[in-house]
């Protein structure tokens, strides 16, 4: 059987892979996307849970989708529409005096004043400085090569924040645990808020844009899987071929450069460009031939073992959650974390292979805004829990039951009677997420966040590029767009 031949083959039909393929096709390339699973979407997958429920398996909100992708690939024409365009952030508090952080600065100030007048006065200045510095840093994170360097003052502040923890930065602005613990959850993507460099995560989040709004989080109609559906439609309209159930098991190398891939079926795909959505570790340790990427590079990657990660808990409910205390928007992001120290204690427990006594949780109720995700009168809760151990001392199959019970108990402290409304439950461990999507098995690195795109995207093997190497793990697609541009540029130079 002769090998099929393409100009480029992309491994993984998640948001990054579909984006990269689309931009390659726009440049006139004949492109194939191979996906090991029988479903598209990767981390943006929406899947059934029980009869009539569609749940976000991994990501439950979008906060970093590249606006250039939305515009240039015409995703709205391909069905992308949003149920919530700007989610409030709600810190649930014992006693019902919740922290509600919204776009309206004045309303947010009034709410924060319940906890601290000093914090209420500081909030507008903090938000202005955070958003202004984040906008100045966008070229670093949004473009392959920034048009101009960051001004000296901005570079000095960035260097300082690169050494500062999110906890220390928040402590320098605010006094109330209610506000600091709520904001700190966004600094837990692969790192803990007490670790040096974690302040960069708050900046990175504030630099993002959704639906034309800086620092917004949004939920599409149809759940996060609708993003993958619109991207797949855009890719196919550009001539991209997408093959599911096609597991790439080997990178083909000829004359010291990438020459295609081999599939588990035994078929080979010839291509002058190979772009992988998988992590650097899985791409170079799992797919590349021994020695092709350099012995030192591969040895360092293969020895790397992540100790903590995030888990996902999905619940179906037969009623809309009724929150205790002051009124809060149902379509918000909710954070459960009593104080900053909760994150430190949780991190210590996770590194020891145990579930924390106090969980740090972000959850949403996507069916509150998009009723089509659940049967009439019923709802979904999607909860991210981090940190948790990547490898559990007691084994994750046992800990999944424990984690689901702890999440329900933590939420019931703010939603009276929640437990009796729970129907089905599903738990994904960090290893489940990594194995299912081929990502999430590498830790956070503050140097990585500040490094240029080519250092994240290029590999030691010419012709092989990483199209999912975002500065921070998120559904963005920007890495796919930039990887395609760098691959095309490299090919032009051959």
Confidence of residue 462 (pLDDT cuts 50, 70, 90): very high
Instruction: Give the distance, in angstroms, between the CA of residue 285 and the centroid of all CA atoms in the same chain.
Output: 23
Q: Per-residue pLDDT tens for 33-46?
A: 999 999 999 999 99
Instruction: Out of 21-35, 365-379, 385-399, pick the least confident.
Output: 385-399
Which three-class secondary structure state does DSSP give residue 99? strand
Burial (CB count <10 Å: 0-12, 13-18, 19+), residue 447: exposed
pTM metric for this prediction = 0.94
Count the helix, strand and coil residues of the chain and give each as a percent rounded to the nearest 5: 40, 20, 40
HEC sequence for 41-98: EHHHCEEECCCCCEEECCCCCECCCCHHHHHHCCCCCCCCCEEECCCCEEECCCCCCC
**What pLDDT is attached to residue 295?**
55
Q: Per-residue pLDDT tens for 177-234?
A: 999 999 999 999 888 899 988 999 999 999 999 999 999 999 999 999 999 999 999 9
- Percent of the chain having pLDDT more than 70? 94
Give dist(CA 484, CA 487) in Å, integer: 5
Both tokens of residue 223?
């759940």
Both tokens of residue 388?
């948790």
Choose among 185, 178, 218: nearest CA to 369: 218
CB atoms within 10 A of CB 147: 6
Both tokens of residue 292?
């092709």
CB atoms within 10 A of CB 39: 15
Average pLDDT score over residue span 479-483:
97
Handedness of CA 405, 407, 412, 417 (dihedral sign): negative
Average pLDDT score over residue span 409-427:
95
**What pLDDT is attached to residue 1?**
47
Rounded to a whole number of angstroms, the distance between the first and last alpha carbons of the chain is 30
Task: Walk me through the domains of the chain, giving residue ranges and CATH numbers.
Answer: 4-82+221-304+442-493 (3.50.50.60), 111-216 (1.10.405), 308-389+393-428 (no CATH)
Provide CB contacts within 8 A for 277, sequence distance 6+: 10, 11, 12, 13, 14, 16, 17, 20, 42, 438, 439, 467, 468, 480
Give dist(CA 459, CA 440) in Å, integer: 19
């Amino acid at each position: 059987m002769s090998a099929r031949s393409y100009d480029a083959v992309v491994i993984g039909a998640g948001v990054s892979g579909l984006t990269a393929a689309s931009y390659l096709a726009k440049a006139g390339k004949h492109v194939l996307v191979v996906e090991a699973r029988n479903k598209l979407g990767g981390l943006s997958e929406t899947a059934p849970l029980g009869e009539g429920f569609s749940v976000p398996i991994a990501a439950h909100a979008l906060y970093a989708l590249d606006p250039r992708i939305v515009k240039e690939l015409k995703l709205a024409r391909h069905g992308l529409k949003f149920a919530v365009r700007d989610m409030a952030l709600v810190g649930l508090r014992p006693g019902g005096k919740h922290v509600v952080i919204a776009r309206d600065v004045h309303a947010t100030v009034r709410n924060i004043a319940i906890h601290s007048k000093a914090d209420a006065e500081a909030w507008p200045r903090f938000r202005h400085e955070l958003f202004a510095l984040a906008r100045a840093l966008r070229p670093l994170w949004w473009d392959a090569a920034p048009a101009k360097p960051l001004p000296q003052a901005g570079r000095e502040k960035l260097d300082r924040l690169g050494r500062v923890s999110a906890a220390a930065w928040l402590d320098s602005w605010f006094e109330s645990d209610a506000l600091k613990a709520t904001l700190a959850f966004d600094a837990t993507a692969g790192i803990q808020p007490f670790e040096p460099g974690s302040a960069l995560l708050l900046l990175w989040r504030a630099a993002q844009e959704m639906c034309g709004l800086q620092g917004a989080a949004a939920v599409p109609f149809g759940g996060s899987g609708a993003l993958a559906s619109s991207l797949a439609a855009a890719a196919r309209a550009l001539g991209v071929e997408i093959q599911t159930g096609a597991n790439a098991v080997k990178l083909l190398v000829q004359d010291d450069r990438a020459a295609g891939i081999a599939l588990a079926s035994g078929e080979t795909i010839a291509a002058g460009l190979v772009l992988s959505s998988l992590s650097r570790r899985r791409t170079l340790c799992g797919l590349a031939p021994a020695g092709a990427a350099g012995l030192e590079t591969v040895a360092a990657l293969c020895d790397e073992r992540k100790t903590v990660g995030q888990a996902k808990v999905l619940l179906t409910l037969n009623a809309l959650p009724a929150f205790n205390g002051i009124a809060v928007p149902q379509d918000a992001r909710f954070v459960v974390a009593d104080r900053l120290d909760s994150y430190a204690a949780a991190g210590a427990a996770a590194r020891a292979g145990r579930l924390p006594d106090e969980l740090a949780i972000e959850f949403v109720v996507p069916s509150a805004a998009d009723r089509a995700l659940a049967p009439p009168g019923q709802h979904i809760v999607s909860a991210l829990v981090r940190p948790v151990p990547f490898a559990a001392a007691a084994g994750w199959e046992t800990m999944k039951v424990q984690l689901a019970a702890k999440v329900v108990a933590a939420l019931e402290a703010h939603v009276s009677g929640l437990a009796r409304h729970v129907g089905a439950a599903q738990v994904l461990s960090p290893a489940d997420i990594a194995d299912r999507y081929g990502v999430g098995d590498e830790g956070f690195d503050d140097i990585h966040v500040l490094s240029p795109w080519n250092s994240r995207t290029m590999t030691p093997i010419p012709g092989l590029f990483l199209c999912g190497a975002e500065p921070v793990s998120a559904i963005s697609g920007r890495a796919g767009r930039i990887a395609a541009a760098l691959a095309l540029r490299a090919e032009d130079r051959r």
